[in-house]
Amino acid sequence: MTEWNGFVFSALTPDPPPFAASFDLPLDRLADWPLGDLVVGHRLEKTIQCNWKVFWENYNECLHCPGVHPRLAQLVPIYGRALLERRDDPRWQDHAHDDDPKYGGGLRRGSESWTMDGQPVGATFPGLSAEDRKVGHLYLTAYPSVFLVAHLDYVRVVRLLPLGPERTEMSIEFLVLPETLADPQSDISKAVEFTNIVMSEDADVCALNQRGLHSLAHANGVLMPEEYAIRQFQDWVRAELTRP
């Protein structure tokens, strides 16, 4: 059992890997966010009709973003180009110094957070650097259970729980400053609504993918170079299955 910034993590194996090694980024990458001081502003639950691995495969590519997430693709222009980040562009060198979010990532100009109007839900976190504020979203992932997305005004925590071979429960919590929760001028619902749209779109496409796996024509999939992160996920699954 490990307590970290108000989160409690428990490992079901007697010999778990080091806690920090469970995450894809160094934990101090989130040091500027006051995680331990935040409170739950809202909670959403969804059951997705897919295997948990289908969810994570979808999570690891943005080829689907322009078609599946029209609103998100507008807010995060590089997603609208089916890319997760600058380095995913085979021609990134052509725009290596271009600050346009369509090449560099981050939110469209004039938007600050993942909300319906792009504006913060309430007070923004003090202590964030200019870079933290500019990025718009910072993902921290720990397979197979959880990912966090830190914005400048709220942090989204998404937990996955397999309910069966083709059903996965997703629990989403919106963490905000206590003063945001107490302030009647704050509007957490615009973050909840935005997230609900995006996650419902993902849930639908994951369910479709799951159905497709039952197709008589399906033998196996083929990964394209753009799907390198899916390959990494599948390698992780294989390694975990053979870990002593």
Site residues (vs Fe ion, CB under 5 A)? 202
Greatest pairwise CA separation for the chain in angstroms: 55
Dihedral angle of Cα 28, 31, 34, 35, to the nearest 10 degrees: -10
As a whole number of angstroms, the distance between CA 155 and CA 175 comes to: 5
Q: How far is the CB of 216 from Fe ion (least distance, A)?
A: 27
Taking the least distance from each CB to Fe ion, the nearer of 72 and 181 is 72
Give yes or no for a contact between 63 and 179, defined as CB atoms under 8 angstroms apart: no
Taking the least distance from each CB to Fe ion, the nearer of 173 and 202 is 202
Taking the least distance from each CB to Fe ion, the nearer of 57 and 202 is 202
Which residue is associated with the tokens 């159905």? 211
Q: How far is the CB of 68 from Fe ion (least distance, A)?
A: 6
- SS3 call for 175: strand
Q: How far is the CB of 107 from Fe ion (least distance, A)?
A: 16
Taking the least distance from each CB to Fe ion, the nearer of 62 and 188 is 62
Q: How far is the CB of 153 from Fe ion (least distance, A)?
A: 22
Which residue is at the shortest CB distance from Fe ion? 202
Dihedral angle of Cα 55, 175, 135, 198, to the nearest 10 degrees: 40
Q: How far is the CB of 2 from Fe ion (least distance, A)?
A: 29
As a whole number of angstroms, the distance between CA 167 and CA 128 comes to: 38
As a whole number of angstroms, the distance between CA 85 and CA 106 comes to: 9
Taking the least distance from each CB to Fe ion, the nearer of 160 and 177 is 160
Give yes or no for a contact between 113 and 121, defined as CB atoms under 8 angstroms apart: yes
Taking the least distance from each CB to Fe ion, the nearer of 153 and 202 is 202
- Describe the crossing of helices 189-213 and 52-59 by its angle, rounded to 10 degrees: 120
Q: How far is the CB of 77 from Fe ion (least distance, A)?
A: 16
As a whole number of angstroms, the distance between CA 127 and CA 14 comes to: 38
